[in-house]
Amino acid sequence: MLHIDQNGRVSNKKIKLAIRLAIQKKPMTHVSGIIVHQTGGSTAQSAYNSYKAGSSGAHFLIDKDGTIYQTASLNYQTWHVGKLKARCLVNMTCAQTELKALKKFNPTSEHRREIAKKVPNRYPANQDSIGIELVGEALPKTVPEEKRVYETVAKEQNASLEWLIGQLRFNFKIPLTEVFRHPVVSRKNPTEAATARW
């Protein structure tokens, strides 16, 4: 079991503290899920450097050798999800009014409708999810981002990811049904975290 102190910092020999205050946003009062990402860059340092800008980031970063860094307090939201997709389409639970609204492609309106719901009727969002980033590039860099393919997640990363998700699920009582790859919940490159295993 992870020990999480009053400041939302994890104390465990498997996790190195590398808190980047700039990516911490509003307080996170409840955790409903976990979202798994890939960074798009080739090193942990490049991801960590990008956090300096403070726009987006995740709570944890897992390097290719399996090293886990905590980069944000679990007491705060980070911007790592983006606009939510309609979960009711996958669950086949959309009301007729929702189906009618979804016929017109408008990700912003779709997100507004979704964020008004609670998990499990919507996917976990920035306000109630823990973000975990795996270092991994989307290649080749010579093509548009949407056509790139994310590199395979290293076995060391997957081992660390499986352990970390297990610990977080236990601590926050998160069901396995609320752990997702980024492209499942938001419109992202479908190959992102495709080879992540937990």
The domain that contains 152 carries what CATH number? 3.40.80.10
pLDDT confidence of residue 124: 98
Residues 71 and 145 in one domain: yes
Number of structural domains in the chain: 2
Is residue 193 assigned to a domain? Answer: no
Strands (E), 83-165: 129-139, 149-150
Task: Please check whether residue 163 lies inside any domain of the structure.
Answer: yes
Domain of residue 57 covers 3-82+124-185
Pick the last residue of a domain from 122, 146, 175.
122
Q: Is 80 exceeded by the pLDDT of residue 54? A: no
Residue 116 has pLDDT above 80, yes or no: yes
Does residue 117 sit in the same domain as residue 131?
no
Is 90 exceeded by the pLDDT of residue 52?
Answer: no
**Rounded alpha-carbon distances, angstroms, from residue 128 to 60, 151, 180:** 15, 28, 13
Q: How confident is the model at residue 95, as a pLDDT?
A: 94
Evaluate whether residue 101 is within a structural domain: yes
Same domain, 46 and 66: yes
List, in order, residues 6 or more apart from 6 with CB less than 8 Å away: none
Taking the C-alpha atoms of 23, 29, 34 and 35 in order, what is their torsion angle to the nearest 10 degrees?
-40
Query: Is residue 110 domain-resident?
Result: yes
- pLDDT tens, residue by residue, 149-187: 999 999 999 999 999 999 999 999 999 999 999 999 999
The pLDDT value recorded for residue 188 is 94
What predicted TM-score, i.e. pTM, was given to this entire model? 0.96
Q: What is the mean pLDDT of the chain?
A: 96
Do 44 and 75 belong together in one domain?
yes
One-letter amino acid of 21: L
In a domain, 96, yes or no: yes
Share of the chain above pLDDT 70, in %: 100
Domain-located, residue 190:
no
Q: Do residue 66 and residue 154 come from a single domain?
A: yes
User: Is residue 12 domain-shared with residue 55, that is, in the same domain?
Assistant: yes
Same domain, 33 and 114: no
- Checking if the pLDDT of 1 tops 90, the result is no
How far is C-alpha 165 from the chain's CA centre?
Answer: 12
Contact assessment for residue 161 and residue 36, using Cβ atoms and an 8 Å cutoff: yes
Query: Is residue 101 domain-shared with residue 138, that is, in the same domain?
Result: no
Residue 39 pLDDT: 96
If asked whether residues 70 and 160 sit together in one domain, one would say yes
Mean pLDDT value across residues 55-75: 97
If asked whether residues 92 and 162 sit together in one domain, one would say: no
Which pLDDT belongs to residue 163?
Answer: 98
Task: Tell me which of 174 and 50 has the higher pLDDT.
Answer: 174
In angstroms, the CA 59 to CA 62 distance is 10
Q: Are both 62 and 109 inside the same structural domain?
A: no
Answer yes or no: is 68 within a domain.
Answer: yes
8-45 pLDDT, tens digit per residue, is 999 999 999 999 999 999 999 999 999 999 999 999 99
Q: Is residue 28 part of a domain?
A: yes
Is 135 found in the same domain as 181? yes
